[in-house]
Amino acid sequence: MLDKKCLLLTCFFAIAAFTVFAQESQQTAPGAAGTNTATATSANPQWSNRDMTYRGKNYDVLDSAYYPKFRAKQFKKYVDHQEIFPPKPRNKWEIGAGLGLYNVIGNVPTLMLWQKGGGGLNVNVRKSLGYIFSLRAQYIYGVAKNLDRQPTTSYDAPYTEFGYVPRNNTNSAQPIPNDVFRASRMESSQLSLDLMFNAYNINFHHARNSIAFFGYAGIGALGYKTRMNALDGNYAAYNFDTLVGKGSTNKAIRKALQKKMDKTYETAADNGGGGKILDHKTLDFAPSLGAGVQYKINKKFNIQLEERYTFPSDAYLDGSRYGKPLGNTVSTGRSSDAISYLSFGVNYNLNTKKKSVEPLYWINPLDHSYSELSYPRHMILPNPVLPDEDGDGITDQFDKCPHTPAGIAVDSHGCPMDTDGDGVPDYKDKQLITPTECQPVDADGVGKCPCPEGCNKDINNDKKCGNIGAGTILFPEKSDHISTQIEVQLSTLAAQMQGNPNCKVVIMGGGSGSKTKEQHSWEHVNAVIEYMSEKRNISRERFIFKYGQEGDENIVTFRAANIDESGSSNVPPPHPDIK
């Protein structure tokens, strides 16, 4: 047992030391200091190519495909800001297989695998209950061998009731003339259900780890059969009198005994009773405890090292209930035996038809929280207040004429409109359209030529919406999400519409030729109008809804409506059944 414990500790310390290098490094956000934005986008798939929105390293929380139907209600509430926690995503099953050292810890010393002892193999299936707890079903087939290093002397009838095999079949007081070295082989089948605990995935400084430590407690059943190497039940046939000399090492004794004995294990050992199953095996209740460590190779495969201790109620796993008799006394030893199984295994995450994430014990639940704090997509933020001192709809940052009188129509630079370009703004120009050949003009905007018929017509109303700029919005493919970049465009449009309260805006979506494209086009236009009305407080009646136009279904354009242009702001979806 000392050799095995040393091996176990060495493996655990080696893997624990490796964790310093095994943690996956956190990738830098595009645009961060020392990082080229274009390079970071192509190197980091967690960033959307179009709107530079952070998706998280593990999965996109806002992707509804990751959630089962019974969690759809919570997802909708989360998206609508009625619930602060996203639902738990669908995650994969893990299956695995392994092999290792299988030993009985009892009154008779165990034989390790390299000492021509036994071994075991296992298969298991595991399912995550959450980020910390998971359930695992494991089947183990094991063979354990035990061999005395010291002889049992005075092997006479009074001690036969203590479980030694073979018994003195004559049931007389005549002792067996030779010393006895007990040798047993235990074959077992064990089925366990384990409740596993793992919290190493909760990491405050990295998105995720490649190392996972776990512990577990299990309940199950053990079917075992123990047989003794007694040479047809007659120890007298083994003459151990001159087998080894005094002072020989345990290693020399073991090798000499194994050379002397045959390998038949032909005699059934005593057992603690119970039902007979699987080739006359004794059935026993088998609680167990264990711990281990996993190393993730990639998102599908991982390897693990673990140790399981099983504690059945039976004391006859090694074929003997007590320790060896000494003279007229009996060493009572332990009341029951235990099983040690040190194994190495390989696990695989099963693919599913529906979109699923890795088992949750590999995912850091803080990833979404940290990404939302640094690069918010779903967080409720106050509407930005853009200063506009003169109230002309052009923010001061871009206003080249910051002191325009109230109610005066301005161009995209915030300067009063000057239709004829004579240098006199329209609100002061007494000759709104002065021919070029009649310029320069006087302070009232009147040129040198006589005023033609209709030159004093007030065209200010005809051009009053000309300072609302046109624009193009690009949505991510198959998404109507209003990204940060789109919000910036719509903020400018909202400011221009607030400065021109009598103007309407046409919102047009591309996408014609199929029902799916028309529906996506409608969803994009509707998302823009809803955002402007709900987030920017622009009346929905000031928009003209158009969809299914020529062009890309992911592109929406907007422009100021013409004076005589009209249209509905509420249009029903053309194909609501298409998702």
Instruction: Tell which residue, 315, 126, 155, 128, has the closest CA to residue 230.
Output: 155
Average pLDDT, the chain: 78
**One domain for residues 47 and 161:** no
Residue whose pair of structure tokens reads 């506009």 in the numeric block? 388
Q: What is the pLDDT of residue 238?
A: 59
Residue 94 has pLDDT above 90, yes or no: yes
In a domain, 193, yes or no: yes
What is the tens place of the pLDDT at every residue in 224-275? 888 888 766 655 555 666 565 545 677 877 887 887 777 788 777 766 445 5
Looking at mean pLDDT, say which of 146-160, 394-408, 432-446 comes out highest.
394-408
The verdict on 76 and 105 lying in the same domain is no
Question: Which domain CATH number covers 300?
Answer: 2.40.160.20
| Residue 182 and residue 250 in one domain | yes
Q: Do 78 and 136 share a domain, yes or no?
A: no
What mean pLDDT is predicted for residues 122-138? 96
Shared domain for 333 and 370, answered yes or no, is no
Show the tokens assigned to 264: 């038949």
> 40 versus 519: which is more confidently predicted?
519
Same domain, residue pair 117 and 14: no
Distances, alpha carbon 342 to alpha carbons 94, 122, 215, 285, in Å: 20, 11, 14, 20
* Least confident span in 334-348, 376-390, 490-504: 376-390
Per-residue pLDDT averaged across 134-158, rounded? Answer: 79
Specify whether 161 is located in the same domain as 131.
yes
Q: Which residues pair with 217 in a beta bridge?
A: 195, 289
Cα separation, 516 vs 578, in Å, equals 7
Q: Is the pLDDT of residue 25 over 90?
A: no
- Residues 167, 73 within the same domain: no
Question: How many H-runs (helices) and E-runs (strands) does the chain carry?
Answer: 7, 18
State both tokens at 131: 């980020």
Q: Considering 325, 343, 374, which residue would you say is the last residue of a domain?
A: 374
Q: Is residue 573 part of a domain?
A: no
Residue 183 confidence (pLDDT): 85
**Phi, psi for residue 542 in degrees, rounded to 5:** -90, 5
pTM: 0.59
User: Within this chain, do residues 174 and 278 fall inside the same structural domain, yes or no?
Assistant: yes
Structural domain includes residue 447: no
In the predicted model, is pLDDT for residue 353 greater than 90?
A: no
Structural contact between residues 418 and 424, judged by C-beta atoms closer than 8 angstroms = yes
Do 108 and 81 lie in a common domain? no
d(CA 166, CA 232): 9
Average pLDDT of span 125-139: 96
- What residues form DSSP beta bridges with 306? 292, 343
The answer to whether residues 509 and 553 touch, using CB atoms and an 8 Å cutoff, is yes
Q: In this structure, is residue 318 part of a structural domain?
A: yes
Q: Are residues 27 and 41 in the same domain?
A: yes
Residues paired with residue 544 on neighbouring β-strands, in sequence order: 506
Identify whether 47 is part of a domain.
Answer: yes
Q: Are 13 and 123 found together in one domain?
A: no
| pLDDT exceeds cutoff 70 at 294 | yes
pLDDT in tens, 430-471: 887 777 778 788 887 788 776 555 555 544 444 567 778 788
Domain membership of residue 551 (yes or no) is yes
Mean pLDDT in residue range 400-419:
82
Q: What is the total count of domains within the chain? A: 3
310 and 339 Cβ atoms separated by less than 8 Å? yes
**Is the backbone peptide bond immediately before 89 cis, with ω within 30 degrees of 0?**
no
User: How does residue 295 score in pLDDT terms, banded at 50, 70 and 90?
Assistant: very high
Q: What is the pLDDT of residue 222?
A: 92
Is residue 423 domain-resident? no
Is a pLDDT exceeding 50 seen at residue 28?
no
Opening angle at CA 251, ends 249 and 253, nearest 5: 70
- Look at residue 386 and tell me if it is in a domain: no
Which range of residues forms the domain containing residue 140?
94-352
Specify the CATH number for the domain of residue 513: 3.30.1330.60
User: Percent of the chain, pLDDT > 90?
Assistant: 28
pLDDT at position 124: 97
Provide, rounded to the nearest whole percent, the portion of the chain with pLDDT above 70.
Answer: 74
456/219: higher pLDDT: 219
